[in-house]
Structure 1
Amino acid sequence: MKKIILLVSLILGFYLIGCTNQGENTLEALRKKDVITIGVFSDKPPFGFINKKGQNDGFDVLIAKQIAKDLLGDESKVKFELVEAASRVEFLKSGKIDIIMANFTKTKEREEVVDFATPYMKVALGVVSLGGAITSIEDLRGKKLIVNQGTTADFYFSKNHPEIELLKFDQNTEAFLALKNARGDALAHDNLLVFAWTKENPEFVVGIEKLGEEDVIAPAVRKGDKELLQWLNKEIETLNTNGFMKEAYEKILAPIYGSDKIDSVLFVK
């Protein structure tokens, strides 16, 4: 009898703990924990990368630090979790990260599994090749196209052009190295990224500058995480209007794209 009573007590205890955790929203939990974990890239300059000092750096990283400062009072209260394109959603769903800031393009497919906040950047697909040899979809017939697994480029070509052979990689560094080593004829990725990459690799040219419809990049939270989503929506709107995004653009992106391109890249007001 004592064993039965003990077992029932343990089950009831776990049940009550579970109810407490479910009743506490993520925003409350983050403030109690006093740290926020944000997923960023380590190999996608100028958006998310590791600098020469071994520190997380880039446009997304600056935004992530500001989020931590505005939520918890100090930008140092952000913990960066390095992600790959294909792992972003799983890291979020499993609770390993609280927010995705890894240059995450908003798509209908992704909206089914995560909740996107207010967007902060505009983007389309671009295709880069040696000397700009590839200038149209027709030029890719019978060629190998390099993409990163789980990216918008992967989804776009798999759905709309299944006849084009795709060579897929998990990491950006692997994909661009494969292009330099002529393992593929061209590489498709976010046009902002390939434009930046060709600045450092001028022998390659973005022959297709805009493919498909223009998309937006936005932070994302777990599906149904309403309180954090509402806070994040207001935060991004504030950063778009209070001058922060303009300053971040001038610091990180203007040297690559030019100060005059800010309105075509960001949603600043």
Structure 2
Amino acid sequence: MQKNLERRKFVKCSLTLIVAAAAVLLGARGNATFALADDNPYNLIDPKVISVGTMGDARPYVFTDADGNFTGFDAELFRDVAGRLGFQAEQVVFTGQDFAALLPSVASGRFDVAVAAIGTTEARKKTVDFSDGYLAGYLSIISADPALSSNESTAGKRIGVIQGTLQEIYAEKNLKGDIVKFPDNNSAVAALNNGTIDGHFTDYESAKQYVERYSNLKITMNVPSFDAPAGFVVKKGNDAFREALNKALRAAMEDGTWKRLHEKWFPGTPMPAEYLPKS
């Protein structure tokens, strides 16, 4: 009888300890959850890393160098902006993919941000949010045919565009020829050089790079595109991250970092006054 009583007391005591331990564990988990929320003010996929979706061949905006590292104006600017938020260079991880997949990937939570000279449009803002603008420029046709110098001159011609870009939007609305869509600039220019298409409609800075590389190609038309400045793309509703990027971006403009990077990557290209230091 005495042994049974002691056994019951032992079981009761053990159960009490187990319940108490569980309560402590749950409490610790609860506190860890709150701590994680506090340690992730920008609502990132991983609070210690910024996952960046980009392109690998959009020179000079962003591209991979001989060592496979992402570089270019957009890449360097974003690393600087991220540094102002407390992230080291190794904590900013770039992943290249087709341009058309960038916005859906941010919207679905695959990436925290997309960085690839992405123009801000009302249509795009329906699915993602944009930082303040940091780049404006021109859209251009490159071709071996100097006659492709206007919207009307493209009639009866095959004009390449990168799928999902501002160039595609403009081309489908204004160019008279057949629009042929490509995943990236390199494949479009390859098609241009082998005669599959007659011209490629891309951004001015990329156009400059290709005409320097291929002597048979020239820039035959430029269209101003200051109404859709490039911005960093973030998931819709992530205001904390967007506002932090805006603050850091303004600081980079005000202290001359933006100007220095623009002069490095776009030598001789005009710079909008609103992106330059006010002092």
Q: TM tier, shorter chain?
A: 0.7 to 0.9
Partner of 1:124: 138
Query: Distance in 2 between the 1:124 and 1:207 partners?
Result: 13
227 and 212 in structure 1: CA distance in 2 versus 1, 3 angstrom threshold: closer
> Quick check: 1:123–1:265 contact (8 Å CA) kept in 2?
no
Separation (CA, whole Å) in 1 of partners of 2:225 and 2:115: 23
Residue of structure 2 equivalent to 1:207 = 220
Aligned residue in 2 for 1:151: 165
**Is 1:33 equivalent to 2:47 in the alignment?**
yes
Q: Specify whether residues 242 and 262 from structure 1 end up closer, same or farther in structure 2 by C-alpha distance, changes over 3 A only.
A: farther
1:185 to 198, 206, 221: 198
Q: Is contact 2:99–2:184 with CA below 8 Å preserved after alignment?
A: yes
The alpha-carbon deviation at position 196 of structure 1 amounts to 2.7
TM-score, normalised to structure 2, is 0.80
Shift of 1:98: 0.7
CA contact (8 A) 1:132 1:204 kept: no
- What aligned pairs does 1:1-269 form with structure 2 within 5 A after superposition? 24=37, 27-30=41-44, 33-161=47-175, 163-210=176-223, 214-254=227-267, 258=268, 261-264=269-272, 267-269=275-277
Alpha-carbon shift at residue 246 of structure 1 (Å):
1.8
Taking a change above 3 Å as real, the CA distance of residues 188 and 48 of structure 1, as seen in their structure-2 partners, is same
Q: Distance in 2 between matches of 1:249 and 1:111?
A: 26
Separation in structure 2 between the aligned mates of residue 76 and residue 203 of structure 1, nearest angstrom:
40
Aligned pairs, number: 246
Partner Cα distance (2:202, 2:273) in 1: 16
CA drift at 1:198: 1.5
Q: Provide closer, same or farther for how the CA distance between residues 265 and 99 of structure 1 changes in structure 2, counting only shifts above 3 A.
A: farther
Alpha-carbon offset, residue 133 of structure 1: 2.9
Residues 56, 70 of structure 2: 8 Å contact kept: yes
Q: Which amino acid aligns with 2:271?
A: D
Give the TM-score, by structure 1 length: 0.82
State whether residues 137 and 224 of structure 2, in contact with CA within 8 Å, keep that contact through their aligned partners in structure 1: no
Q: Please, which moves more after superposition, 116-125 or 206-215?
A: 206-215
Give how far 1:105 is off: 0.7
Q: Name the CA distance, whole Å, in 2 between partners of 1:265 and 1:38.
A: 28
Uncovered stretches (5+) of structure 1, i.e. residues with no partner:
1-12
Contact 1:98 1:222 in 2 (8 A): yes
Shift of 1:262: 4.1
* Cα distance change on mapping 1:232 and 1:134 into 2, 3 Å: same
Percent of residue pairs bearing the same amino acid type: 25
Change beyond 3 A, Cα 1:188–1:148:
same
Structure 2, unmatched stretches of 5+, are 1-25
